[in-house]
Structure 1
Amino acid sequence: MESSSGNGKGMAEAYEEVEGEANFESDEIERNKVGIMRALVEREDPSSKDVDDFMIRRFLRARDLDIEKATDMFLKYLSWKKSFVPNGSISESEIPSQLAQNKLFMQGVDKTGRPIIVVYGGRHKQTTPEELKRFVVYTLDKICSRMPAGKEKFVSIADLEGWGYTNSDVRGYIAALTILQDCYPERLGKLFLVHVPYVFMTAWKMVYPFIDNKTKKKILFVENKKLNSTLLKDIDESQLPDAYGGRLPLVPIQNC
């Protein structure tokens, strides 16, 4: 049915036009706030001039476009980066025990072009907290450096088959989560938890309070019987790792 406004536009077309205007206004507000935040952080830390607007936007979005909160978060990140990664990156020689566990892989993209990461929780063994943190940073930096043009987020499949108390590392999980949320905000697109044993829920209950609300919305527990169908909703068979019925072999993160 066409509208009665006499301009010949259908209701759907008119709605899309209004929605487009709303999106434009929203984008304009966001761009203005990015500019304001950039000026603030550059005044406090001149090194932030090397950071692109997309990074500043991610921190803004992580704090619901609150400039003051996002600026504080970003300045803390810059301080952390200088102290924890003084050379600008983590070398493989700094994380030998973590890499030897052969627990993290990267292969394929989902239907929106986001890279896919596979983590095998049952292979995780506790090492020093500092090495685990370095491994997390190494991994996230590697993922971000391989991000397709125009994409900012990744999708992860956390496979907990075989997970038991020997793999339980609550302090390590919280440390990794903190780095992801505070230093790499708006990078996680979705997290599929698969092959989840009941015993894992004990650790999950201890970690859950440390997960922010934005991250919680991105986490999906997948039933074993619905595993293939659930993954295929987001990932084409040609891009799905062969471990889940797809066509791509898994590639260790250090070989990507």
Structure 2
Amino acid sequence: MDKSPEIALTQMRKSVQELGSSTEKHGDPTLMRFLIARSMDPSKAAKMFVQWQKWRAQLVPLGFIPDSEVQDELESRKIYLQGLSKGGHPLMIVKASNHFPSKDQLQFKKFVVHLLDKTIASSFKGREIGNEKLVGILDLQQITYKNIDARALITGFQFLQAYYPERLAKCFLLNMPWFFVSVWRLVSRFLEKATLEKIVIVSNEEEKEEFIREIGEEALPEEYGGRAKLVVLQDVILTPVDDSLNSTS
């Protein structure tokens, strides 16, 4: 829609009120993410925003998911948080070989929220602005059929699309084995065009060199061509910020 951001924001705030909710606790950068995700349509953005608020209130009543609620998932040591990329985005690494399909889907969904919230919060400079984005790496090295979990991947990407709009800067897929190609084709059917455009499958040396340049050696662990050490998610301690994670999305 050919509409200035200021007009679109004003109309979105009004639409949110008409839907019986409020944007009072959220700044323009947060609202703008919802507008961008809905092609600057204030009505559609407002509906998405209100759905997100209801979802957060139901699944994340405290405003964050404590470690104690996702202990089983944390113990697998499959998520790593590596500081900021060259572009200033927090870098999250998923080691798929450490993942096994969860028997408790509610805990897994809470874990997805936990890792996304914590990754985004790790980029706050004293307080949340609302437009922070993350870079993800899905490392498929040494996976077996026991690690394959299309439902988990679909859940993660659908959460990003529906409840974390414009939070994904880029996602790199590394070391994809031949038998995972069909799984990825299935997962891709559930992804929006805007999400697919942010996903890069690294499959040759030239692409790997570009991947290292884009991430930067400071944040990238040694095994991926950088100089950093792997840091498991639960070992990252974040400094409290002015705003609570209630506004994280």
Q: CA RMSD in A?
A: 2.0
1:161 aligns with 2:141: yes
Distance 1:197 1:93 in 2: 34
1:234 to 184, 204, 214: 214
Any conservation in 1 of the 2:33–2:131 contact (CA below 8 Å)? no
Q: Percent identity?
A: 35
Task: Count how many residue pairs are aligned between Structure 1 and Structure 2.
Answer: 231
Contact kept in structure 2, 1:194 and 1:227, CA below 8 Å: no
Q: Tell me which structure has the larger Cα radius of gyration.
A: 1
Indicate yes or no: 2:123 matched with 1:147: yes
Alignment match, 1:100: 75
Q: TM-score, normalised by structure 2?
A: 0.86
**Is the Cα contact below 8 Å between 1:104 and 1:119 reproduced in 2?**
yes
Partner of 1:63: 38
Higher helix share: 1
Partner of 1:74: 49
Contact persistence 1:157–1:193 (CA under 8 A):
yes
Offset, 1:188: 0.5
Cα shift at 1:29: 0.9
Residue aligning to 1:173? 153
Q: 1:64-92 CA distances to partner (integer Å, 9 max, x unpaired)?
A: 11111111111111111111111211111
Question: Whose RCO is larger (CA < 8 A, sep 6+)?
Answer: 2
1:233 Cα deviation from its structure 2 partner: 2.4
Q: Distance in 2 between matches of 1:65 and 1:135?
A: 31
2:239 alignment counterpart: none
Matched, 1:214 2:221: no
- Cα shift readout 1:44-74 (whole Å, capped 9, x = no counterpart): 3445311222111101101111111111111
Question: Normalization by structure 1: what TM-score?
Answer: 0.84
Q: How does 1:14-25 map to 2 (within 5 A)?
A: none
Instruction: Tell me, in whole angstroms, the C-alpha distance in 2 between the residues paired with 1:109 and 1:81.
Output: 26
2:60 is the counterpart of 1:85: yes
